[in-house]
Each structure stands twice: as structure tokens, then as C-alpha cells.
Amino acid sequence: MHTNIAAHDFSCTRDGLTVRGRSFIPEGDHLPAIIVSHGFSGNSRDLFDYCQSFASWGYAAFCFDFCGGSAPGQGTSDGATTEMSVLTECEDLMAVMDYVKGLDAVDADKVTLMGFSQGGFVSALAAAGRPSEVEALILVYPALCIPDDARRGALAGSSYDVNHVPEVIDCGNMRIGKKYHEAVVEMDPYEQIVSYKGPVLLMHGTDDQLVNYTYSVKAQEAYAPGQCHLQLIQEAGHSFTANQSESALAAVQQFLLGKKEILTIHVQITGQELRKEEGPRRQIAVLFTGNSDSRYFKGDIIPGAEDLQEYTDDQLVSMRADYTLEGTAYTGEECRIHIINRNVNGEWKPAIETDSKALAFLNQEDLTAVLEGYTNGLTVRIYSAVPGTFSASR
């Protein structure tokens, strides 16, 4: 964990316009870098916390304001909103890439792009435009719907006649120009993004009302088999709550470490029991059921699953989930997987015992879990290091 992080403003130019942003750089040299892009009408301040986290992991992290891409008075970069389009934002991002790769502190061969909403679409386009320069790509509810929205005359919540596109389109908190519409109306986003061949992490909420998660499902299908991991987050909308952001960050860290999600378990809480109470100390068993529908295993949690929670003065001091799944490994063999999941120094560390020959490697593996909570349940994602995968970490 890096604690000595230098935060500075930076700038670069694109076609006579100045792009301004903020860098978060830990001590060291030849650092892997991550460039984070904001969404439509947003700004770089939305991304400071993410960049601070990435810098604490040893990354040189950068965020910036797109030229004309922020709501009036919110952005620091040059340019009018009516001159902005997805393609001009792609040029902005490439200018930032050039700036970042030229820094002494950065390893130019280890640059990751991450983008939210429209910034995700732009990041995917930039990676496809310069595939050899991007080590990994992280897309968070990417707005791959934009070309469809243009064809419907409904860009960013606006409404206009596609046969008579106005010179200025009113999107509520922002006005965009006709050039925005023209840049995307004929575009097939899936054809545009697939020339990038590196690893992709796609994160999308199932309750996203602005960009339906099916756009990300289609994107995963468009990329090469096994290239893109799609993480659907239950009940998340077109922005994440604090808890959803925390679990998303933990999943991003596993991705950047080159780890693979080898088990995904959907847990439904069915009740709880008070097991012990002695003065200020209480022991509660949270009971649950659920299933796994993963690449390597499909099956159900058998009866008897419980999460034993210890409290002192109503403060949760320890948790220990103990459960067994029964089902089928990817080879077709019937098997059981017994899991004990504990929180160790703030990180979930599951221990697995299985009678599966195909999954026997899990018995000795150093595993990490990420928990995503939702109403009366949670998604448990268990990660394993897989030989031969990339790792941009330091």
C-alpha cells in the first residue's frame, strides 16, 4: 500500500485546445498507469477518489475534463459543449495517453484505460484505435447505446427530429451540437471496439435506467471468446452507491492483478438465529441458500449454510461463512465444494475443499473474494491467479 502520493494538476493540448486534469502519482519510477474518463456532462472531480485508490496500489493515476464534455461551469478544459462529440473526446483521451506515456515516472508499456458511461464508450474506442498501447481496459456502464439514441433522436434525454437535426440539441443541463449526432448516427459501436485484443473488464448494473445492461452483454459477445469478463451488479443503477463502489474497486483490483473470477455464488439470506449471548457479546448465525452458475462450476448451496457473526457492544468483530455447494464441474463430473470464508485484515479470504479432480487446484490456492450486497442477498465473487494472464500491478 502506497501512502506517499503526489497530487498535481496537469495539462496537454489537442488541436489548439488545452485538456486539463489531475494526476495522483506514488513514489517510484516505471509505474503502471491508469487513465480514468468521466461520463457525459461530468468532470474529473467525480473520479478523484478512484484515482487516489489506484495510486495507493502503486499506479500513476490520471483523470481529466473532456473538452466541452462537462456541464457549463463544471469543467476546466477548453472547448464548447456544442463542439464536443464522442470522436473529439476520443482525441482528447489519446492526447492524455501521449502525455502520460512521456512521463519519466510511467512505464509506457503498462497503460490501462478506464471509463464511466460515455467515458467508457470513448475508452473502448481509444483502445481500439491504439490497441498496442493499452495493456487493459475497464468499462463501467459504458454508453454503447449512444448510436442507437442518435438514431431515435433521443441523445442524452433530448428529443428531436432525426430527419431535421437541429444545429444545437438541448439535453437539459447541457447543449450539444449537430456534429455530436452526425459522429455516431451511422456507427456500429461493436464493430468499432473489437480491434482491441487485450483483457477487458465490463461492469454494469442490472437496474441501469440510462444504459440498459444488455448493451454490455452484447459487447462481451462481440469481443473474442475469453477476452472480456462481464460483471453484472445486482440492483445497481447508472451510478454506484458507496457500497457498490467499494466492491467494484475490489473487483477492479483483482482484475489488475491478473486474477480470474473462477466462482460466482449468488446468496439469498433466509433468516437468522441468536446462538449465544454473554453480556456485551453476541453470536448470530445468518442462514442462507443460493447457487453458482460459473464457467468452472454450476450447482446449489445445500442446507446448513450459515454465516456466524460475532458482536461486542453491537460492533461486528468477526464473520465466518461456512457452506457447501453440490453440482457439476466444467468437465461434467459431479462434485462438492466446501467453502469457509473469513475476513482477514480487511480482505475476504475463502478456503476451499473439493472432491473434484478438475477443480483440485482450488484446495491449495490462495483465493480472494469480493462481496456485492443487494436486497436480502449478495453476490460472492471468488478470484484465483491463473498462470499466463497479464498483471499490470507493482
Local structure of residue 66 (DSSP, 8 states): -
At 360, list the grid cell. Answer: 483440485
Degrees, nearest 5: CA angle 236-35-241? 20
Class of domain 263-385 as given by CATH: mainly beta
Please name the fold of domain 5-256: Rossmann fold (3.40.50)
- pLDDT 10s digits, 119-166: 999 999 999 999 999 999 999 999 999 999 999 999 999 999 999 999
Tell me whether strands 60-64 and 106-116 are parallel, antiparallel or unpaired. unpaired
- pLDDT 10s digits, 250-276: 999 999 999 999 999 999 999 999 999
| Domain range annotation of the chain | 5-256, 263-385
Local structure of residue 302 (DSSP, 8 states): P
Residues 6+ apart with CB under 8 A from 182: 85, 165
What's this model's pTM, rounded to 2 decimal places?
A: 0.94
As a whole number of angstroms, the distance between CA 146 and CA 151 comes to 9
What pLDDT, on the 0 to 100 scale, is given for residue 300?
A: 98
Phi, then psi, of 153 in degrees rounded to 5: 70, 40
b/e per residue 137-164 (b: at least 16 CB within 10 A): bbbbbbbbbbbbbbeebebbebebeeee
Which parts of the chain sit beneath pLDDT 50?
Answer: 388-390, 393-394
Q: What is the mean pLDDT of the chain?
A: 95
Residue of 22, 145, 12, 189 whose CA lies nearest to 91: 12
At 198, list the grid cell. Answer: 487485450
Residues 6+ apart with CB under 8 A from 210: 117, 141, 143, 145, 238
Are residues 296 and 382 in contact, defined by beta-carbon separation less than 8 angstroms? no
As a whole number of angstroms, the distance between CA 288 and CA 379 comes to 12
What pLDDT, on the 0 to 100 scale, is given for residue 391?
A: 52
